[in-house]
Amino acid sequence: MCGACARRLVPCVPDAFLACAPIDGIDDGAAAFDYRFPLDRLVHRFKFAGDLATGRWLSLQLAEAICERARPDVLVAPPLTDASLRARGFNQAIEIAKVVGARVECRVDLDCIVKVRDTPPQPGLTGRARRRNLRGAFRCERSFDGLHVAVVDDVITTGATMAAVADALRGRGAARVSAWAVARTPGPRG
């Protein structure tokens, strides 16, 4: 797995690092799985059918995938819009962060990042449109001067959410920002 963008590197492919798509503002990334069948069905079941047991299993897989990495000072999760939270009933990234934080014995701050404006849903948008959609959408409510912060989410597609949250964290002094997700889309997305 590439430590910069969290995409799997296929050992038999020459120059596999050329597929790397670093995420702006992120120092390193990790994902437990590629986002493809059958894992995409499990994430969907957790996220949209409220299957918290599946979510816990996915979270434990992420905890296992990052257990050898440098432990951050704190884990954070991107917030949902109020409408998404009402519709879903929970924030999947928060549920993942709680399990991962407990497993790797790391502090979890679940309300330091706030979404300051509603944004259209990300599915169907290109990478460029996703970045534009989320520019300035998050604010960090705490100081993280000199700290290593890991942003935890379910899926990294283009990295736009991670980059936007990282920007808010860096604005409040975070020295290092990691992106941890259950899954990462396997190919470049523009």
Question: Torsion angle of alpha carbons 65, 159, 118, 84, nearest 10°?
Answer: -40
Q: How confident is the model at residue 10 (pLDDT cuts 50, 70, 90)?
A: very low
What mean pLDDT is reported for the chain? 86
More confident residue, 7 or 70: 70
Other beta carbons within 10 angstroms of residue 71's beta carbon come to 12
- pLDDT above 50: residue 17: no
> Are residues 184 and 156 in contact, defined by beta-carbon separation less than 8 angstroms?
yes
Whole-prediction pTM? 0.85
State the Cα angle at 155 between 175 and 140, rounded to 5°: 35
What does the pLDDT read at residue 4?
55
- DSSP-derived secondary structure letter, 72: P
CATH 1.10.287 correct for 23-184: no
Other beta carbons within 10 angstroms of residue 40's beta carbon come to 15
What does the pLDDT read at residue 120?
61
Domain locations along the chain = 23-184
Tell me the C-alpha distance between 116 and 81, whole Å: 9
- pLDDT above 80: residue 6: no
Dump pLDDT digits (tens) for 75-127: 999 998 888 888 889 999 999 999 999 999 999 999 999 988 777 666 666 67
